[in-house]
Amino acid sequence: MPDPGAPSEEARPAWDSTALRSDPHADPDKARRVQEMFGAIARRYDLNNRLHSLGRDQAWRRRAVRLAQVGPDDDVLDVACGTGDLSEAFARGGARSVIGVDFTPEMLEVANVKVNHRRWPRDVTRPTYVQGDAMDLQFPDESQDVVSIAFGIRNVTDPAKAVSEFHRVLRPGGRVVILEFCEPGLAPMRLFNGFYCKRIMPLTASLIARDRSGAYQYLPRSIETFSKPEDLAALTAAAGFGEIQQTRMTMGICAITVGHKAAGP
């Protein structure tokens, strides 16, 4: 018998304070909550990113493209592509093809609107987008040269399974590029960043997105409870990647992990 005083499933935020008190990555309902939350914030997602990173987020994505050493013969799969900013950066970076995959339809809708409204130079191949799951990619073995994921691996239910999928779909010699937030190593920066991410950003970002899903309360909680960059490097190695390099950016608030699939015999 449902409790008549309890909020209905629809009225309940994707992430409420009870769900965020414990580790959100261990929540058995994480995938549904993540999808619902991105569905709720999709329209203002880019604006919030630009404002709250002071414009740095696009520079981080461009850096990821440079570190992938993408060339004119490279096919790129941008997993958890969201509204397509990294997919677009890969396209402009000269990839032969870019496919963005995400499991939230509202994020893909924004990505498609953007790609259709942009002016694209004639020699650039526009990205295309499909709905799909990072842990079960609908692409053949050894079909891609670069697999990227920006601010997505933290949101996936089973990161190890996703990174194994990335290894499967990469051709020999292919690269995986993982861009993700982390906690700065320097104590003063960690304190400042913690204050900003936990006290200021949740208020301003929720206001801008008119968000009631709890997305911007989940964000700092999901970062502090997620794997450290060194654990992400170990997970990438365990999936079969070698020559793993990590680059920290903006006083250590995010890091790019690059791994290589062996070039073959």
Ligand X SMILES: C[S@@+](CC[C@H](N)C(=O)[O-])C[C@H]1O[C@@H](n2cnc3c(N)ncnc32)[C@H](O)[C@@H]1O
What residues make contact with ligand X under the rule CB under 6 A? 34-35, 38, 80-82, 85-86, 102-104, 107, 133-135, 150-152, 155-156
> Which residue, 19 or 34, is less far from ligand X as judged by CB?
34
Task: Using CB positions, name the residue nearest to ligand X.
Answer: 82
CB-CB contact of 134 with 103 (8 Å)? yes
> Which residue, 113 or 263, is less far from ligand X as judged by CB?
113
> Which residue, 80 or 235, is less far from ligand X as judged by CB?
80
> Which residue, 191 or 229, is less far from ligand X as judged by CB?
229
- From CA 232, how far away is CA 248, in angstroms rounded? 13
Beta bridge partners of 212: none
Query: What tokens were used for 154?
Result: 């933290």
> Which residue, 22 or 138, is less far from ligand X as judged by CB?
138
Least Å from the CB of residue 263 to ligand X: 27
Least Å from the CB of residue 70 to ligand X: 16
- From CA 42, how far away is CA 107, in angstroms rounded? 5
Element (H, E) at 99: strand 97-102
Least Å from the CB of residue 153 to ligand X: 9
Q: What strands lie across the sheet with 144-150, from one edge to the other?
A: 128-131, 97-102, 75-79, 144-150, 170-181, 254-260, 242-249
Least Å from the CB of residue 12 to ligand X: 19
> Which residue, 88 or 145, is less far from ligand X as judged by CB?
88
> Which residue, 130 or 234, is less far from ligand X as judged by CB?
130
How far, CA to CA in Å, does 33 sit from each of 5, 30, 94?
22, 5, 35
Q: Using the CB atoms, write b or e for 53-71: b if 16+ within 10 Å.
A: beebbbebbbbbbebbebe
Least Å from the CB of residue 15 to ligand X: 14
Beta bridge partners of 136: 133
Least Å from the CB of residue 38 to ligand X: 4
CB-CB contact of 153 with 221 (8 Å)? no
Query: What tokens were used for 216?
Result: 């911007």
Least Å from the CB of residue 217 to ligand X: 14
